[in-house]
Amino acid sequence: KKGLHKLTDLTLIEIKEILAEAESFSRGATWNSEKQRFVANLFFESSTRTKLSFEVAEKKLGLDVLNFSAETSSVQKGESLYDTAKTLESIGADVLVIRHPKDAYFEELKGIQIPIINAGDGCGHHPTQSLLDLLTIQQEYGSLNHLNIVICGDLRHSRVARSNAEILTKFGANVYVSGPQAWMNGYAEQYQYVTMDEAVEIADVMMMLRIQHERHHEESFYKENDYHLQYGLTVSREKRMKANSIILHPAPVNRGVEIATELVECERSRIFKQMKNGVAVRMAVLKKALSYV
């Protein structure tokens, strides 16, 4: 039954074990399930990286992937998430990977006996994204202890900001936040607030967040170019970053808004390395989930 709903459900030891396994997969280690195992990826919200990197991870582990599309499934006839998951369990799925727009959708799925891996719930959590962020930072610096990590931008609507901030602190990093006050949502009381000009001077890791337009229900209070100049990682700010400091972004990227387009593939950027690490992390998470079925 043990899946992965939130990173904070795991102990630090479990997180370190997953990261060690992921590191080994990223270096080319292989593992194949001895028995036939079926995994279904249920995505009720759009995705490129998470959905396809789960699929690559599943195929690398020799798992049989059940194709599911919310648009062509009986969800269109009104079938609930619970009944959909129960159906997949009944026909033989061993693990479910689910992305859903509802916060904490997994609370409705307590009657499902197979592991559920959360691929993103509303503004809630995205544990495999947090794990791949941790792996990418660890590969760069060896340890997170005493690193200055600034989480920048749309923290309010981000499903990785809170669990990343909590877990990075537990790993000994100094967490700072930056961005519009309207999107701080209590973060600035818990973590030190810095302006973007201050952030680039102190950061070992600039953790940029996408502006989550699809979750904004109020009218926009900024123009994209103004946002970029005040809160974005501009080309001139990047020049003031510390030697060897790096840039992360979960992607997709709003080029020219939270980050200058020239910086997406610059020397400091680890954005595409994060995506590559996503496969290794998801292999490790799937392998762990399979040990419970």
Annotated binding site for L-aspartate: 77, 159, 210
Q: How far is the CB of 102 from ligand CP (least distance, A)?
A: 16
Q: How far is the CB of 129 from ligand CP (least distance, A)?
A: 5
Give dist(CA 60, CA 34) in Å, integer.
Answer: 13
Stretch that binds ligand CP, among 44-52, 101-109, 176-184, 259-267 (CB under 6 A): 44-52
Using the rule CB under 6 A, is 129 a contact of ligand CP?
Answer: yes
Instruction: Count residues binding ligand CP (CB under 6 A).
Output: 9
Q: Residues at the annotated binding site? A: 49-50, 77, 99, 126, 129, 159, 210, 251-252
Q: Residues at the annotated binding site for carbamoyl phosphate? A: 49-50, 99, 126, 129, 251-252
Residue in 66, 184, 251, 266 binding ligand CP, rule: CB under 6 A:
251
Residue in 157, 250, 270, 286 binding ligand CP, rule: CB under 6 A:
250
Residue in 8, 24, 47, 212 binding ligand CP, rule: CB under 6 A:
47
Using the rule CB under 6 A, is 214 a contact of ligand CP?
Answer: no
Nearer to ligand CP by Cβ, of 129 and 138: the residue is 129
Q: How far is the CB of 90 from ligand CP (least distance, A)?
A: 28
Q: How far is the CB of 53 from ligand CP (least distance, A)?
A: 8
Residues forming a β-bridge with 100: 121
Give dist(CA 176, CA 247) in Å, integer.
Answer: 15
Using the rule CB under 6 A, is 269 a contact of ligand CP?
Answer: no
Binders of ligand CP among 109-128, rule CB under 6 A?
A: 120
Give dist(CA 23, CA 135) in Å, integer.
Answer: 7
Q: How far is the CB of 118 from ligand CP (least distance, A)?
A: 12
Give dist(CA 107, CA 109) in Å, integer.
Answer: 5
Binders of ligand CP among 50-79, rule CB under 6 A?
A: 50
Using the rule CB under 6 A, is 49 a contact of ligand CP?
Answer: yes
Nearer to ligand CP by Cβ, of 89 and 126: the residue is 126
Give dist(CA 100, CA 239) in Å, integer.
Answer: 39
Q: Quick one: which of 165, 184, 173 has its CA closest to 144?
A: 173
Binders of ligand CP among 166-185, rule CB under 6 A?
A: none
Nearer to ligand CP by Cβ, of 48 and 236: the residue is 48
Stretch that binds ligand CP, among 48-56, 182-190, 218-226, 282-290 (CB under 6 A): 48-56
Q: How far is the CB of 128 from ligand CP (least distance, A)?
A: 9
Using the rule CB under 6 A, is 212 a contact of ligand CP?
Answer: no
Q: What is the 3-state secondary structure (H, E, C) of the chain?
A: CCCECCHHHCCHHHHHHHHHHHHHHHCCCCCCCCCCCEEEEEECCCCCHHHHHHHHHHHHCCCEEECCCHHHCHHHHCCCHHHHHHHHHHCCCCEEEEEECCCCHHHHHCCCCCCEEEEEECCCCCHHHHHHHHHHHHHHHCCCCCCEEEEECCCCCCCCHHHHHHHHHHCCCEEEEECCHHHCCCHHHHCEECCHHHHHHHCCEEEECCCCHHHCCCCCCCCHHHHHHHHCECHHHHHCCCCCCEEECCCCCCECCCECHHHCCCCCECHHHHHHHHHHHHHHHHHHHHCCC
Q: Which residues bind ligand CP (CB under 6 A)?
A: 47-50, 120, 129, 250-252
